Structure 1
């Protein structure tokens, strides 16, 4: 019997910031003195962001806002693009505070009968503001900033279990990332549900316990 639900936030409850990233990548390519496509900018930026993300842990932990600005500045420097990193990163931060929510997520959170905890890699204040913006009433908001570790590390899942007062086998974690959410939860002994909104092909190495395309499908499992 499921006693609590852990939900990822971006890509699960609300839309990702992909469109904002795409706009900045396009503007960077337009202003770059080193000729490039916006896709090349996007790939370089994402790779640098991901590297810093994985290195951010414990005493070396950086908030996601810090990683975003540093990785964007390094991207602008690499392509020699005349763009203000702080100004354009702020567009992303503004979106994090007021993201677009999935309609099925609103319905699910209104009707679900078990306690829900949101576990997110986003910064604490951004998650609090986004939850308040959408009037989300959940049992707890737990971020990587709280535990100084990003998913798929297990610290955030263990903190979720502590706050929920549950054993791993009593919880389901739901997220859109096979690496961060599915593998991360499973490493903590928690059953994982992959929300595959875009109906992507599942890699052979991935093995979520369940797969759904909408959060409302979870009512079949709890």
Structure 2
């Protein structure tokens, strides 16, 4: 029986900033002499972003974004200030709730701990904007690590006072959420936002399109 939930936030509770990141990549592509495809720039940025986040010392998400974007802009010969190019990602915009989120949260009877890579101030502002209430919130900036690091899941379990066998972790990233939870001995739910092939989520305990489908598994 499930006694608690660990819940990713961006891409799971609210929409992710995919459109904002693509717009930044399009601007970099337009400023590059080689005129690469924006999707290629975005893929380069995502890889570099992950590399910076996995490195030492720990850096908050904003710093990771700017440092990784600087590397990608240089690689593509795009001049300009990476902090200015990437400002839209941290402009204070509050992303909308994903389909089914509010109904799902109103029906859940077990305690929920948000486990998010987002910076503390950004995450707190988004939760407050939507009037959401959770039993606990764990963010990377406070832990000093990003998912799939075991420390993130360990802090979530400690916040709820539960063991790994008692909870499920719900998130949209196969690498950060599903693989991270599985490695911590926690059942995982993959929120398959983009309708990817079912085989992609084979490692997850359950696969859902959004939170409204999760109630059947609790």
Tell me the TM-score normalized by structure 2: 0.93
Q: Of residues 85, 99, 123 in structure 2, which corresponds to 1:103?
A: 99
Q: Of residues 42, 59, 69 in structure 2, which corresponds to 1:72?
A: 69
Query: Deviations for 1:87-107, whole angstroms, at most 9, x for unmatched residues?
Result: 232210125x51121131121
Contact 1:178 1:206 in 2 (8 A): no
Matched, 1:89 2:55: no
Query: How far is the alpha carbon of 1:134 from its aligned partner?
Result: 1.0
What residue is the counterpart of 1:168 in the other structure?
164
User: What number of residue pairs does the alignment pair up?
Assistant: 218
**Greater CA drift, 36-45 or 132-141:** 36-45
Q: Provide structure 2 residue ranges, at least 5 long, that are not aligned to the other structure.
A: none
Q: Provide structure 1 residue ranges, at least 5 long, that are not aligned to the other structure.
A: none
Query: How far is the alpha carbon of 1:141 from its aligned partner?
Result: 1.2
Contact 2:99 2:210 in 1 (8 A): no
Matched, 1:190 2:182: no
Query: How far is the alpha carbon of 1:68 from its aligned partner?
Result: 0.2
Query: Aligned Cα RMSD in Å?
Result: 1.6
User: Which SS does the other structure have where 1:103 is aligned?
Assistant: coil
The CA distance in 2 between the partners of 1:90 and 1:35, in whole Å, is: 22
Query: How far is the alpha carbon of 1:42 from its aligned partner?
Result: 1.4
The CA distance in 2 between the partners of 1:34 and 1:214, in whole Å, is: 39
Query: Deviations for 1:30-78, whole angstroms, at most 9, x for unmatched residues?
Result: 111343221221122122111112224xxx1111110001111122222
